[in-house]
Amino acid sequence: MEKNYPDAQAPPSYNTTQPGYPNLNQQQPLIVAQPQFIQAPPNVLGNVPSMATCPSCGARKQTKIEFEPSTKTHLIALLICLIGGICCCCIPYCTDSCQSAKHTCSSCGAYVGTFKN
């Protein structure tokens, strides 16, 4: 048989609503710190040296450029030869606008990207 004691109370050690005790009956919001990431601006490469973030060393510096012949360079030279300007077919190899610009890091020399005309 169960006995019902209407005047019975829980011992004071279980009473968490007293001042100085946290109220365990209410749910507290959970605060989680999110990591902060600083995103570097995208590398915008062109025919001239530009500011870029090196994928190897992480430095943000101005790149060095080397111009290299591309398929476009060879096709322009072939077209000049076919038209009849055999002595002028070397012009696309001397003009930077007909070649691809290969960007490298100025601190470590790692490859950053290529700009193709």
So what's the pLDDT on residue 101?
Answer: 94
Terminal alpha carbon distance of the chain: 94
So what's the pLDDT on residue 114?
Answer: 92
So what's the pLDDT on residue 12?
Answer: 54
Between CA 58 and CA 54 the distance in angstroms is 5
Which three-class secondary structure state does DSSP give residue 53?
Answer: strand
Between CA 27 and CA 32 the distance in angstroms is 15
Positions in the chain whose pLDDT score sits under 70: 1-31, 33, 36-40
Between CA 92 and CA 109 the distance in angstroms is 27
Domain segments of the chain as ranges: 47-117
This prediction has a pTM of: 0.61
